[in-house]
Amino acid sequence: MIKLRDSYRYALVTPTSMGVRIAPEHRESVISADRFIMQVTSAESNAASVLSYLGLPVKVLTAFVQGSPISQIIKQNLSSRNISYDGKDFPQGGPWGLRHQFNITDSGYGVRGPRVFNDRAGEVGRMLNVRDFDLDGLFVKDGAGILHISGLIAALSRETGEFCIELAERAKANGTVISFDLNYRASFWEGREKELSDVFNRIASISDILIGNEEDFQLALGAIGPGTDHTDITAKLDSFKDMIDRAAVIYPNASVFATTLRQAISANTHMWGAVVFADGEWLQAVPREISILDRIGGGDGFVGGMLYAILRGWEIEKWIRFGWACGALATTSLTDYIQPLDEEQIWDIWEGNARVKR
């Protein structure tokens, strides 16, 4: 059973490594484009944006490059999204020193699938360390409803893995709910399987909420499931439930497990659904067809929407519906994060109501 603290200053706190994404205009391929759009991004701030745009106070714990114009763009962007931030400014250390991560994204179109090319050399976010943050002030004095951790940050470096473990332990000791989005990335794990398996297991063992797709649960936590073939997901729903049942046995501290269901018919059309197991109850958003402008951020939108519903104290049935609709909304935007007008807009998406409102 999820039990939030009686009072807190921040509804959600999340560690992150901020960066920028550049993508061609008009969904062209990277190799054929000569004009690109740049935006601020990170998976964790994507999820936090659901809450911040809907009026809940959130904070990201991060790191910046001192004197960098990209750093200034990131700070201004976070402020514009009503996201508080705390992070040390590290000296760049010359042209071959630190910088913010960036990725080059081909959003795909039709039969051309999306491609993401990560460039994370010298990433300042790999420097995250508990000594650079006032954790007593954050978790004892101010208080946080949920600490949300992503496997992307836990796997960035040995330092960030320890950072996430210490954050989770400190937050847990002060009554903060722990949410862990596994976010397995094979390129991060290569050659570090034992190290990262230990890190992920330590975080998962004290988490209250575990979130991930079929790859995440199987490859990060070793819970046997439906494999990694993304075709005909509707026929595999029992396998998804079996996978979560196995994870629940391995991690009895968690009371909420969630997985998204995605089948790409084309780059522009997906089947989108979700399964949630909460307090012994199964909930399901049956996969249905959605149109895709840009798929990046859909999973983060689902996570943010579900955490928002939990923080609002809604009944369990609304968690998966609101999360599903937030994820669907994210795929209609060229930004990785959603900017909802209000709750009504999101509920209209769940109901399939796309009629004009004047």
| Per-residue confidence (pLDDT) for residue 223, from 0 to 100 | 72
**Is pLDDT of 62 > 60?**
yes
| Per-residue confidence (pLDDT) for residue 225, from 0 to 100 | 64
Taking CA atoms, 187 is separated from 72, 138, 267, in Å, by 29, 33, 23
In angstroms, the CA 242 to CA 86 distance is 40
Arithmetic mean of pLDDT, 69-74:
98
Residue pair 285/252 in contact (Cβ under 8 Å)? The answer is no
| Per-residue confidence (pLDDT) for residue 217, from 0 to 100 | 87
Among 102-111, 125-134, 141-150, 238-247, where is mean pLDDT lowest? 238-247
Arithmetic mean of pLDDT, 265-291:
94
**Is pLDDT of 104 > 60?**
yes
281: in domain: yes
What band does 219 get if pLDDT is binned at 50, 70 and 90? confident
104: in domain: yes
**Is pLDDT of 163 > 90?**
yes
Q: Which domain holds residue 153?
A: 10-349
**Is pLDDT of 231 > 70?**
no
Residue pair 27/291 in contact (Cβ under 8 Å)? The answer is no
pLDDT digits (tens, 9 = 90+) for 23-50: 999 999 999 999 999 999 999 999 999 9
300: in domain: yes
What band does 195 get if pLDDT is binned at 50, 70 and 90? very high
The domain total for the chain is: 1
Question: What CATH number corresponds to the domain at position 248?
Answer: 3.40.1190.20
4: in domain: no
In angstroms, the CA 119 to CA 214 distance is 26
Residue pair 39/87 in contact (Cβ under 8 Å)? The answer is no
Q: Report the mean per-residue pLDDT for the chain.
A: 94
- pTM for this prediction: 0.95
5: in domain: no
Partner residues linked to 19 by β-bridges: 41, 101
1: in domain: no
| Per-residue confidence (pLDDT) for residue 222, from 0 to 100 | 78
In angstroms, the CA 99 to CA 122 distance is 6
